[in-house]
Amino acid sequence: MVCCFFEHPLLSGQGLRLHGRLLRYGLLFALCLVLSGCVTQPRVGSDWAQWKPSPNYGPRKANYVILHHTSSATLERALLTLSNPNTQVSSHYLIDRDGRVLQLVDENQRAWHAGESYWGGHTDLNSASIGIELVNNGKEPFAPAQIKALLSLLSEIRSRNKIPRANFLGHADVAPGRKTDPSALFPWRQLAMSGFGLWCDPPYPTPPESFDIILGLATFGYDVRDPLRAFSAFKLHFSPDRGIEFGETDRAMLYCLVGKILTVGRE
């Protein structure tokens, strides 16, 4: 573009002065482009770290699956909420009662489904998990077709992401006291029998006197800063039929589950 000025017939006298001014402006413009390019590039390096890029990297993979129920009456209503930019909530997948599966967010991207959360030392489950919403009003049983579709989806997710069996959890597990989904009607045992999550059936091993419930819950993964909330989340997941008290049977089941998470939990 600059070359065309040299070929122009007005390149003499006033024309040359004009050309010189344009050339200066052109150089200034080019400098601005370079500087603005630097500003808009991804932030790399810093005053304290020199940028030495390596080609050996790829997208991060999820290591947890967090399950939810929508509380909405229909898939359409749930979809409106999960795709409205004003709600600031989403999930990777949404499964209808009839087993229809919708994908809303790429698995390699961070969907906004868990919010403030904790599990086993992780304080940002959104960054480490795939979120699945099940259309359910929170009071109804989960439809068999929906659970069948969920199990198929979980198989695919696990094979793609190599997620350990202990890391299939509910929203209530990672946000005790703040969330209560999926509801007590969710078939956690059925999922665990298919390899998604942990479970223990009686007879449970007898825990030693020294086995402490709070330490057990913390070892399993729960946030125990408020022990009552952790008890409630555990009961919702593992023993919703045994009332609200944390009894000896619950203590024995927890002892069994801690043993499993330390042995087969990473498989």
Active-site residue numbers? 133
Instruction: Please give the Cα distance from 5 to 9 (Å, whole number).
Output: 9
Instruction: Please give the Cα distance from 160 to 162 (Å, whole number).
Output: 6
Query: Which CB atom, from 147 or from 175, has the smaller least distance to Zn ion?
Result: 175
If you search the block for the tokens 């439809």, which residue do you land on? 143
Q: Is 171 in the site for Zn ion (CB under 5 A)?
A: yes
- Rg for the chain (alpha carbons), in Å? 28
**Which listed range, 63-71, 84-92, 157-165, 215-223, lies at the site for Zn ion (CB under 5 A)?**
63-71
Query: Which CB atom, from 136 or from 235, has the smaller least distance to Zn ion?
Result: 136
Q: Is 237 in the site for Zn ion (CB under 5 A)?
A: no
Specify the DSSP class assigned to residue 85: T
User: Where are the strands (E) in 96-213, listed by range?
Assistant: 101-103, 129-134, 168-170
Q: Is 181 in the site for Zn ion (CB under 5 A)?
A: yes
Asked whether the bond before 182 is cis by omega within 30 degrees of 0, the reply is: yes
Considering only residues 125 through 144, tell me which ones interact with Zn ion, judged by CB under 5 A.
Answer: none
Q: How far is the CB of 28 from Zn ion (least distance, A)?
A: 54
**Which listed range, 3-11, 66-74, 79-87, 88-96, lies at the site for Zn ion (CB under 5 A)?**
66-74
Query: Which CB atom, from 18 or from 101, has the smaller least distance to Zn ion?
Result: 101
Q: How far is the CB of 262 from Zn ion (least distance, A)?
A: 28
Q: Is 223 in the site for Zn ion (CB under 5 A)?
A: no
Contact between 119 and 74 under an 8 Å Cβ cutoff? The reply is no
Which helix or strand (DSSP H or E) is residue 66 part of?
A: strand 64-69
Q: How far is the CB of 190 from Zn ion (least distance, A)?
A: 20
Q: How far is the CB of 171 from Zn ion (least distance, A)?
A: 3
Q: Is 68 in the site for Zn ion (CB under 5 A)?
A: yes
Instruction: Name, in order, each residue with C-beta under 8 angstroms of 165's C-beta and a sequence gap of 6 or more.
Output: 192, 195, 196, 197, 198, 264, 265, 267
**Which listed range, 17-25, 115-123, 168-176, 192-200, lies at the site for Zn ion (CB under 5 A)?**
168-176
**Which listed range, 75-83, 166-174, 211-219, 223-231, lies at the site for Zn ion (CB under 5 A)?**
166-174
Size of the site for Zn ion (CB under 5 A): 3
List residues bridging with 95 in a β-sheet.
101, 134
The tokens describing 89, both together, are: 């909530």
Contacting positions for Zn ion (CB under 5 A): 68, 171, 181
